[in-house]
Amino acid sequence: MEKFNPEFFFNNLIFTLIILLACFLQISLNFLSFFIISQPYVLAIILFLAIRRLNFETSSILIILYGLLYDLITGGLIGIHSLFFLLLKFFTTNLNISNKILKKFGEWFLFSFSYITSLLITKFMFLIVNLKFPDIYAISFNIGTTLLIFPLILFLIDIPKVVFKVFISK
């Protein structure tokens, strides 16, 4: 019965708003002319950071629903993004190797491991379902731009913390 407290509801509401904003940001990247080949996966970055940095356990059911919603909005295969989001959560939080990577190499390497592994498994499922190879050039462009944008988003998230520390310490 502890799942029905107001804090749990508020945390899931905030998580929902963050993911919905990320979905709309991801969809809006389609309209930029320099992302004709493939877009960076900003939604995966924000989902990874929400899973890692929020102080509560994210619900797998909500992650499945967000994936289904994103599939319905974009017109993709139903369930592919749910699988991708669940794999991203699994590789981020549930493996011993994830904790070792985080402690030894840092958050960027953990994101790289989680993102690339989840994406490759999802693309393999796409290959099995469609019996068609996905565009390797678009996948490599997607991985490259996503991994390059990850430190930039981390920096933008950490700016308010640094500014707050500077003003508080004076």
pLDDT tens-place values along the chain, 170 residues long: 455 678 778 888 888 899 999 999 998 888 887 777 788 999 999 999 998 888 778 888 999 999 999 999 988 888 999 999 999 999 988 878 888 888 899 899 999 999 999 999 999 998 998 888 888 898 999 999 999 999 999 999 888 888 888 888 76
d(Cα 149, Cα 103) in Å, to the nearest integer?
A: 22
For residue 164, the SS3 value is helix
d(CA 9, CA 55) in angstroms, rounded, equals: 14
Report the C-alpha gap between 79 and 67 in whole angstroms: 7
pTM value > 0.85: yes
Please report the pLDDT score of residue 83 as a whole number. 94
> Dihedrals φ, ψ of 23, to 5°?
-60, -45
Total number of residues shown for the chain: 170
Per-domain residue ranges for the chain? 2-26+38-169
Q: Which helix (H) or strand (E) holds 128?
A: helix 107-130
Q: What are phi and psi of 78, to 5 degrees?
A: -65, 125
Determine the distance from the C-alpha atom of residue 139 to the mean position of all C-alpha atoms in its chain, rounded to a whole number: 16
